Structure 1
Amino acid sequence: MRGYFWLAVGLAVLGFLACHAGRIWVDAGQRGFGLARRLGWALLGAVAPSRYWWGARIEALSPYEQADLLARETAALGLSRADNLHCPLCSTEVSHAWALTPDSCPTVAPGPVQCPRCDFRLDSCRHCVHFLPGTPQTWGGFHWGSGDVTFGRCNRYKALRSVEQVCPPEVAHQLKARGYEQVRAPLPIVDSFLPPDFCTAFKPERRRLRASGIRWPNARRVALLRLLASPPAPETAPPEELPSDDEQWLL
């Protein structure tokens, strides 16, 4: 019986993959793909269908079809632009939240990326890879904080601080005995929603964004961002109507 069970599971998986491959095979043929390209995308699409539907297929669309797809998918997301974001706190639309890197990978747009209603910031310290939440548990250790992300330190920028503020009492006493009154330490962040004005090193971390209720752009959203960044299709004037026989006689 166990053998029949695994046989049924295998057939179900093969059927599922064949369904994906078949849909891509048919659609690629309608888009004018050659036999070799159709076969290649059908095989790849069986295990990674988004590579075709939100990649090769979009590139095969005409500029007008791409514009129509961008408009429909953006409306389906409930947004006015594909690079916008619904604020996780108040659901207000945040403008120009996402961007693409030079190699077409998604990232947070240059800041400030801020909600106009509740001041939520996508490019805040708590969403950055350089942020160390809470207070250090041990001097020189790698375990930071108690899980409180409302404040912390920036591991990218350093500042001079007194040894009493940074070090345990015994270490601070030894440093002062050697003539050290201050040491360079990670910059304190009082409010993790307010990055320093001079900061230009923000780098988003997906895990921290997910903890704030923000979904990282998937293949669908990345495709829409690429369409949004591409130049619009040139507008063509409508064709002139030919004069009727009576009008030609008058001319």
Structure 2
Amino acid sequence: MVAFSFALKAFMLARARTKNFSRALFYALVAFLNYPYFYWYLRLTLPLSEEEKKKVLQEFSKLTGLSLPSSSFCPFCKLEITDALKVSSDGKNVVPKQRPLLCPKCGLRIDACRYCLFFEKDTSQFSLEVPSGRCTVIKKAQPVEELCHTSVAKRLKDMGWQTLYAGIRINDPFSPPENCRSFVFDPAKMLSDRINWMGKERLLLIQIEMSLYSQVSSSGSG
């Protein structure tokens, strides 16, 4: 009965905002099966009024303890870092507003490889230490011995391959390369350090925050 009530609310809201019956029906089905997904993702894709946007931000703040979606917690000391995040220029990812993004309390660099979508951990051996890995964006020619197991490297050299063009090695995932220009937050890597709400829901929430405050600024200047 509760699930049906959620589905009805979702249908009515989507029907009123989109005027599309089939889309409203789809939203209702999603809400019936997974209401949190509808409420915190699909609902946010619908046209929202200024008051609804304010309510969304208030609910987010109450759930997460952050003042705004553009803020972030430091994974280590849990301090809130305000005005830290934005949506990338292509509108597809959450990125830092400026780099380096440092925690003012403990100095941890938040925009480090450890939390980047383009960092691949070295899983070839188990280690309790901070894992090293490679960047999948910054590449250069490197000796085959540094990239492959000994037997594979020997076979490649016998074939005439001395180097391979591959991602550079990252020995310290807390210190990104100086020429890094492609940092993107990876929700899964952030979640491993108990920093949640960094996926597509956060992206939509930041967009709502930006649109709301641009509306407020426009009305104030008028």
TM-score w.r.t. structure 1 length? 0.60
The corresponding residue for 2:121 is: 133
Q: Matched residue of 1:123: which SS?
A: coil
**Change in CA separation of 1:36 and 1:128 when aligned onto 2, cut-off 3 Å:** closer
The corresponding residue for 2:187 is: 206
Give the Cα–Cα distance (whole angstroms) in 1 for the partners of residues 209 and 74 of structure 2.
21
**Change in CA separation of 1:191 and 1:174 when aligned onto 2, cut-off 3 Å:** same
Deviation at 1:198, TM superposition (A): 0.5
TM-score w.r.t. structure 2 length? 0.67
Do residues 117 (structure 1) and 101 (structure 2) align? no
The corresponding residue for 1:85 is: 72
Q: Where in structure 2 are there 5+ consecutive unaligned residues?
A: none
Q: Which amino acid aligns with 1:93?
A: E
Q: Matched residue of 1:187: which SS?
A: strand
Map 1:137-156; keep pairs closer than 5 Å. Answer: 144-146=124-126, 149-156=130-137
The corresponding residue for 1:138 is: none
Match of 2:54 among 68, 80, 100: 68
Give the Cα–Cα distance (whole angstroms) in 1 for the partners of residues 20 and 157 of structure 2.
76
With 50-59 and 226-235 compared, the bigger mean Cα shift is at: 50-59
Contact 2:111 2:183 in 1 (8 A): yes
Q: Where in structure 1 are there 5+ consecutive unaligned residues?
A: 1-14, 135-142, 238-251
Q: Matched residue of 2:205: which SS?
A: helix
Give the Cα–Cα distance (whole angstroms) in 2 for the partners of residues 116 and 90 of structure 1.
10
Give the Cα–Cα distance (whole angstroms) in 2 for the partners of residues 82 and 127 of structure 1.
18
Structure showing greater Rg: 1
Higher relative contact order (CA 8 A, sep 6+): 2
Contact 1:126 1:149 in 2 (8 A): no
**Change in CA separation of 1:70 and 1:19 when aligned onto 2, cut-off 3 Å:** closer
Q: How many residues align?
A: 211
Deviation string 1:4-47 (CA, Å, 9 cap, x unpaired) is xxxxxxxxxxx23212134446x749x89979599645555333
Contact 2:94 2:203 in 1 (8 A): no
With 112-121 and 168-177 compared, the bigger mean Cα shift is at: 168-177
**Change in CA separation of 1:212 and 1:38 when aligned onto 2, cut-off 3 Å:** closer
